[in-house]
Amino acid sequence: MTHVAVDLLGGDGAPDAVVNGIDSALGTDESLEVSLVGPSGVAERLLAERRLAVGGRLRLVEAPHLIGPGQDAAREVRSRRDATVRVATRLIRDGVVDAVVSAGPFEALVAAASFTLGPAPGATRPALAVLLGSPSRPTILLDAGAATGASADQLVQYAVVGSAYATVCLDVARPRIGLLVAGPVHRGGPRLDAGRPGVGGPAAGGSGAGGLGAGELLAGLGLDFVGAVDAAGVVAGGQADVVVCDGSIGAVVVSWLQAVAESGDQPPQVQPGWYPQEGAFVVGVDGIVVVAGGRSGSTGSGIARAIAQASVADRSGWVPRQRAALADLVARRRTRAGLSA
């Protein structure tokens, strides 16, 4: 069984869409258990309306407070023990559930996960991994905006955990990793930011350990590192399975593609071409944490897909997989520091 805690209050469609999503997910997946985290009164009313019984594979966990959108989400997380994201991540920490899903502000969820679960051993910051592209050929982009100003070492972390995540959710044995550079306005021109720290081409990026750029560090890790990639190469050429960039850039890419995809009359699920798929996966924290963001976060089907994404991660053994992927980085750091590996 996979047991997922779901935030009842997060997202534009909450609480109704959340309960609809849980209903659908429980119906589809008989190996799924859900803990619904929110105000019990609200939960009981919604479940009764749908004739859903508590007990068996559906439980209620009391948490009265929603951390809404706002600049202080991360700070508010620390002061509100009764917030849904705090209670939900505590359920992971205490071994009650295997994963958390919330459609609330990603800042609150990432902050709660960092605070309660801590970083995965070897990771120094979390990142958001988002699937871009058509369902038949998706690409993972990270960081989609969890943080800005990544160092070369942190871009390497993103690559390592992004590669591990690609083996889980893209079913690619040996994912190709690319470092994103801003594409030239004139195709064929030079890369705009090849020398800019934190975005970096293979020889650029913030200066990392030993003064090496992210590309140089990556080239020594045994991953399938394809070097610098730009938008055209990724979209038209499928040059990489995993695209790594600073969160300031990733957030821009995702927000514009999402806005364009959602501007049509077709929902993103059936629209051909490139768009961010729902469910940003939080890497770098020591647990399974999924943000059901975008338009999908306000629909029951979007919540159900985010729950499914969390279940896939759990059944593939994401937590030990991520630890194993980062272990090599840890060993290299120890060696550089003169410690035994």
Tell me which residues touch a second copy (CB under 8 A). Answer: 11-12, 69-71, 73, 103-107, 128, 130, 144-145, 148, 182-196, 199, 230-232, 234-236, 247-249, 251-260, 262-264, 272-274, 276, 280, 291, 293-295, 297
Least distance in angstroms from the C-beta of 83 to a second copy: 15
Minimum CB distance to a second copy, residue 113 (Å): 15
Q: Which is nearer to a second copy, 29 or 143 (by Cβ)?
A: 143
Q: Do 44 and 8 meet the contact criterion of CB atoms below 8 Å apart?
A: no
User: C-alpha 244: how far from its chain's center?
Assistant: 13
The CA distance from 110 to 146, in Å, is 8
Question: Over the Cα atoms of the chain, what is R_g?
Answer: 20
Q: Between 65 and 323, whose beta carbon lies closer to a second copy? A: 65
Nearer to a second copy, 77 or 325 (CB): 77
**Shortest Cβ distance from residue 91 to a second copy (Å)?**
21
CB 193, min distance to a second copy, A: 6
Q: Could you tell me the two tokens for 67?
A: 């951390």
Distance CA 294, CA 297 (A): 6
Instruction: Decide whether 236 or 270 has the Cβ nearer to a second copy.
Output: 236
* Alpha carbons 123 and 116: distance in angstroms, whole number: 15
* Of 122 and 201, CB closest to a second copy: 201
Kindly provide the b/e burial profile for residues 240-272, where b requires at least 16 CB atoms within 10 angstroms of the residue's own CB: bbbbbbbbebbbebbeebbeebbeeeeebbeee
Query: What is the b/e burial string over 116-143, where b = at least 16 CB atoms within 10 angstroms of the residue's CB?
Result: bbebbebbebbbbbbbbbeeeebbbbbb
| Residues 6+ away with beta carbon under 8 Å from 256 | none
d(CA 114, CA 331) in angstroms, rounded, equals 23
38 versus 122: smaller Cβ distance to a second copy: 38
Tell me how far, at minimum, the Cβ of 256 lies from a second copy, in Å: 4
Query: What's the min distance (Å) between Cβ of 323 and a second copy?
Result: 25
Residues 6 or more apart whose Cβ sits within 8 Å of residue 322: 120, 161, 164, 165, 283, 286
Of residues 41 and 69, the one with the C-beta less far from a second copy = 69
Min. distance of Cβ 44 from a second copy in angstroms? 26
Nearer to a second copy, 29 or 230 (CB): 230
CB of 257 to a second copy, least distance (A): 6
